[in-house]
Amino acid sequence: MLAVAAVGALAGYLLGVRRRAGEAPPAPAPPPAAPPRPSLSPVQVLRGEDLAGLAERDARELAEELRPYLMDVARQHGAAEVTLWRHAGGDRNALDIVAWSGDGLPPAAATWGTVPERALVAWSAAEQMVGFERRDDEPRIAICPVRFASGEAAGAIVLAATDRFTSTRDSLRDWLPRHAAQVGRLASLFATRNEVARQSRFTRALLRIARDLQRAHEPDALERALCDYAVEVTGGEFAVLLRWDAAQRTGCVAAHSAHAPWAMRDGVVTPSSVAGAACIDGSASFWEDARFLAERGGLLRDDDGGVVAGSMAVLPMMRGTTAIGAIVVGATQLGVLRALEIRNGSVLSALAVNALEASWELAETSRRSRTDALTGLWNRRHFDEQLERVLNETDRFGGTSALVLCDLDFFKKVNDTYGHDAGDAVLQQVATVLRDGVRTVDICARLGGEELALLLPQTAMDGAMELAERLRQAVEAATVPHDGVAIRVTVSMGVAIYSAGSDGKGTLFKRADENLYAAKHGGRNRVVG
């Protein structure tokens, strides 16, 4: 019936054209026994659009949808521009530039670069190989073939630098296939949106999410957003994001949506759990009736007793054949999650891999740059930044904050007597005692050598003195075994406070240091405030 309606609509359209041209309508002809298939799809006929117009619109939309991701790729590697080349129509030997990282329409392929550079792009796309054009032994153009998610060749993604990339050649060789795979997924997703009308709402959401994911670089915000997106595109009631370490065969809960069950909001993920097994196997699992999962043991870990839910899905996030995490989607009612919507969740997990992995790598790099390698405490750089933040927040919200400076007593004697390995072990033990004894909002840092510091937001002098004394006693009671000897050490501490609006912000560290000096010269192993 839809085809008949399409033919009728097309006939009405042509009739209107003739009347507008002043022509008399032809006499009606008897319908043919087998009407020819219309050149336009029913949807196109009813919308009054032709194939050329649709193709032009789709090309514009594809370029706009891909531009944010291509811009992000350019920023990541220091490229002047990133272009996506695609086979022109059915001609496997011709390539067009269909999207790029710049503004406006993409440049014409015929005028891009030099003849040898265009030939290198065509060769890389045809041979399905990564290619580099070098100048002064530094890559200036990097090319990687692109395929659609279905597997057919699509073209190539090309990164061009003005002088050189900020990424090394090895880094480019590692990242280019990831970017190409992501572009292939996005292009395939765009095509699916146009071909499958029922999926248009979900697919448009996924395209928006893919763009948003690439723009979100803070891990916490990205993780929470991913859970919300999973709920949106699957129709589930809650979602949980898992981070998985394939080498250690263990994972943890990274984030969750608002209505996630309490048993799924934090903790580790064990390999024998339902979610852990899905990460190890690398295959998505879906249950329209998930009530029996409680009988299989834990959903996330062996001792959680399972989570009672009506529908459940575990969607691994794969880097090649290795899972880096998974999205768990659930609903309390039976049949809420369906296979079609779960496929959207799988597409979401694939789209999120690059952004999430890059965000985790960036966060880990930042953490290492702000962490003392020996003790695991924050370093001086991070401490100085947090000191400024805490004092500014104290002025803004009122109250009092405290600073405690700590110094190990006779630490040089420990090194001289037992060796520097023993001294390192002592520092690590003291750092553990201090870190375990403070709140999560407190900052515990190693300033250098044997000097440590505690930054205590919203803490008055009496509370800071009480904490410092408790920690001093804990350090004194601890022993550090080394080569059959139990080493004991003590610490001296100086405490100072800053009250909102006072003039002591610039002297806080000096006052705490003076009190530390007084503790050292007053006999050591004591707290002075």
**Coil/strand/helix, residue 510:** helix
- Please give the Cα distance from 241 to 237 (Å, whole number): 14
Respond yes or no: is residue 450 known to be catalytic: yes
280 class by beta-carbon count within 10 Å (0-12 exposed, 13-18 middle, 19+ buried): middle
Residue with tokens 């880990």: 364
Question: What six digits make up the tokens of 1?
Answer: 């019936």
SS3 call for 331: strand
> Considering only CA atoms, which of 391, 375, 380 is closest in space to residue 433?
375
Q: d(Cα 517, Cα 528) in Å, to the nearest integer?
A: 9
Tell the burial category of 418 from Cβ atoms under 10 Å away from its Cβ (0-12, 13-18, 19+). middle
Query: Dihedral angle at the C-alpha atoms of 158, 163, 169, 175, nearest 10 degrees?
Result: -40
- Going by their DSSP bridges, the two strands 322-331 and 238-245 should be labelled as antiparallel
Say what angle helices 420-436 and 461-477 make with each other, to 10 degrees.
140
Distance CA 254, CA 224 (A): 9
Closest CA to 452 of 434, 475, 467, 472: 434
Contact 148, 187 (CB under 8 A): yes
d(CA 263, CA 285): 20
Annotated catalytic residue, options 133, 223, 450, 476: 450
**DSSP secondary structure, 73-123, as one string:** HHHHHT-SEEEEEEE-TT-TT-EEEEEESSSSSPPPGGGSS-HHHHHHHHH
Structure tokens at 395: 């002025």
Kindly give, in sequence order, each residue whose CB lies less than 8 Å from that of residue 407, ignoring residues fewer than 6 positions away: 450, 451, 452, 491, 492, 493, 516, 520
Distance CA 516, CA 453 (A): 11
CA distances from residue 154 to 20, 67, 94, 497 in whole angstroms, order as listed: 43, 17, 11, 64
Active site residues: 450
